[in-house]
């Protein structure tokens, strides 16, 4: 995909969201796509996208994906949801049999 399009895997618990996006899309766009996938049961504003490398949330919804050199086509990211005003889920990714066979 050399046209700037990217295919990202965004994981939460035992779920994986597959998001097709462009390099110039924003972090907010990724969260909106996940919100759509959950049929809006969780709004984008109550989500954080996290890089697996250092578990740091990508907090600026207006920041373009291309700013983050680590995010490339077929990258894996995490998403966590807000539990209460100041509390967020931890990153808890369940391994599947497919993960164990890699």
CA distances from 10 to 25, 60, 85 (A): 15, 17, 23
Domain ranges of the chain: 5-85
Task: Give me the architecture of the 5-85 domain, per CATH.
Answer: Roll (3.10)
- DSSP symbols for 19-53: EEEETT-BHHHHHHHHHHHTTTSS-GGGEEEEETT
CA–CA separation, 31 and 49 (whole Å): 7
In this structure, are residues 28 and 60 in contact, taking their beta carbons and an 8 Å threshold? Answer: no
Across the chain, mean pLDDT equals 90
Write out the H or E segment, with its range, that includes residue 8: strand 5-12
> What pLDDT tens digit does each residue of the chain (102 aa) get?
458 899 999 999 889 999 999 999 999 999 999 999 999 999 999 999 999 888 889 999 999 999 999 999 999 999 999 999 989 998 877 665 555 555
Would you state the pLDDT for residue 94? 65
């Amino acid at each position: 995909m050399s046209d700037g399009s990217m295919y990202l895997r965004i994981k939460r618990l035992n779920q994986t969201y597959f998001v097709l996006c462009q390099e110039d899309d924003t972090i907010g766009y990724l969260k909106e796509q996940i919100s759509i996938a959950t049929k809006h049961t969780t709004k984008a504003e109550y989500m954080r996208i996290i890089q697996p490398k250092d578990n740091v949330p990508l907090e600026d919804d207006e920041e373009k994906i291309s700013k983050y050199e680590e995010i490339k086509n077929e990258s894996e990211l995490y998403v966590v949801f807000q539990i209460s005003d100041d509390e967020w889920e931890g990153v808890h990714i369940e391994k599947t049999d497919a993960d164990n066979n890699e």
